[in-house]
Amino acid sequence: MKKFVKNQKGQGIMEYVIISSLIGICCLVAVRQFGEVVQNRVLHMKSQVAKEISIK
């Protein structure tokens, strides 16, 4: 019975590692897909802020 409990703990850790890995992969894919769009928007906002500051 004690061996069964030990196996359960290892299984829980393995599931956590798999889920964490999948989340990480999804984040990398999202950054790769939308990274350029986000970068362009940030640059556009930066230029708009710079214009507003230089006007005042």
Which residue range(s) make up the domain with 4? 1-56
Q: What pLDDT does 8 receive?
A: 64
| Report field, pTM of the whole predicted structure over 0.85 | no
Q: What pLDDT does 13 receive?
A: 87
Q: What pLDDT does 54 receive?
A: 78
Tokens of 37: 């769009």
Q: How many domains does the chain have?
A: 1
The DSSP symbol for 2 reads: H
Q: How far is CA 25 from the centre of its chain?
A: 8
Query: Is the pLDDT at 7 greater than 90, yes or no?
Result: no
Q: State how far the alpha carbon of 12 is from the alpha carbons of 4, 36, 48, 55, in Å.
A: 13, 37, 50, 59
Cα–Cα dist 26/37, whole Å: 17
> Model confidence over 12-56: pLDDT tens digits?
888 999 999 999 999 999 999 998 998 999 999 999 998 888 776
Q: What pLDDT does 12 receive?
A: 84
